[in-house]
Structure 1
Amino acid sequence: MREEREPPPGRHETREQRADRRWGELLQEVRVAQTGVQILLAFLLIVAFTPRFTDLGEADRDIYVATVLLGAAATGALIAPASFHRIVAGRRLKPETVEWASRFTIAGLILLLCTVVSAVLLVLRMVVSDWLAIWLAFAVLVWFAGCWFVPALWLRHRARIGR
């Protein structure tokens, strides 16, 4: 009598079905991040036209420029999946498209993290001492990294060990 095996755990889907599912999931994730980075960038762009902007010192202007550039880079990376998909659509490259879009999304999230920390630093320098602003901005960095990346990386590591 032949021993029956259990099917492998997880979904039973073709490469294309998996790519379609992953693409849909990725788009939902990107929508959340895009909204945040676009609103943040819009506020940052407006700041240069406020009366108080001329009172900024050189260091604060440098932080502002870096923050705007980081925000623009994050926006570009988070919009890249849509552009990438549109350019290669219909060429039977969905699995590859999903991989590239995922990379752009991770890069966009890292850039968004840097934008938020930089913006927090800029604002806090206006209301507290420079050293306290740096420490608080660092705390924001640790908090965001702890929320956005550490649990997922820990789970991936744990899953890899459990194989």
Structure 2
Amino acid sequence: MNGQPDDGSESELIWPRGRNETEEERADRRWTELLQEVRVIQTGVQILFGFLLTVVFTQRFATLDAADRNIYVITLLLGASTTGALVGTVTFHRLVSGHRLKPQTVLWASRLALTGVVLLLGTVASALLLILRLALNGSAAPWVVTALVLWFVVCWFVLPAWVLRRYSSSE
């Protein structure tokens, strides 16, 4: 079998498993992949967080009611926490590098990155809630935000979990 399906069905695909690499080579590869992922997500987080930092200085901010101000503060704190977790991946590596702990560094930095993604979900949901409460002037905002959060959960967590379960069950 050469990796091609016999009858065109997905279940017949045979994917090559594993790589011929040492633990250190694997850690180096995984670290490079993690950095690329963090670079992509960090750009969006920086833009969102930068925007959130400026909101308090707008004229409209003074007209917000207490609930909207609380949502803003929560959103700002979630954005700061998201930034902390994602930047933490790089500072973790910087502080630990040179001590022959690359596999452990990759493990813990990956956990920080995933934490950052979860915090980003909260940040985006909270920011959407604030903006949609103002834009829709009604009770539709929580429903719209709930639908979007469910969509993000499916895209960010459910689909990868399904693929992992579906394609790694034969190992």
Q: TM-score, normalised by structure 2?
A: 0.88
Q: Distance in 2 between matches of 1:121 and 1:108?
A: 20
Q: Unaligned 5+ residue runs, structure 2?
A: 1-15
Please give the per-residue CA displacement for 1:71-104, whole angstroms capped at 9, x wherever unaligned.
0000000000110011111000000000001000
- Cα distance, 1:161 vs structure 2: 2.7
Distance 1:64 1:47 in 2: 9
Distance (Å, rounded) in 1 between the aligned partners of 2:26 and 2:32? 10
Q: 1:58 to 1:95 in 2, by over 3 A?
A: same
Shift, 1:14, TM fit? 0.3
Aligned to 2:85: 77
- Which of 86, 96, 116 is equivalent to 2:104? 96
Name the aligned partner's letter for residue 98 of structure 2: G
Could you tell me which runs of 5 or more consecutive residues in structure 1 were left unpaired when the two chains were aligned. 1-7
Q: Which residue number in structure 2 is paired with residue 4 of structure 1?
A: none
Q: Does 1:19 align with 2:27?
A: yes
* Alignment of 1:134 onto 2:134: no
CA-atom RMSD in angstroms: 1.2
Aligned pair 1:62/2:70, yes or no? yes
Work out whether 1:148 is the aligned partner of 2:156. Answer: yes
In structure 2, distance between residues paired with 1:9 and 1:136: 41
DSSP-derived class of the 2:139 partner: helix
Q: Which stretches of structure 1, 4 residues or more, deviate above 3 A after TM superposition?
A: none
Structure number with higher relative contact order (C-alpha < 8 Å, ≥ 6 residues apart): 1
The CA deviation at 1:130 is 4.1
| Cα separation, 2, equivalents of 1:35 and 1:63 | 23
State the aligned residue count: 156
Aligned identity (percent) is 57
Question: Equivalent residue of 1:119, what SS?
Answer: helix
**1:31-60 CA distances to partner (integer Å, 9 max, x unpaired)?**
011111111000001000001100000000
- Aligned partner of 1:3 in structure 2 is none
Q: CA deviation at 1:160?
A: 4.1
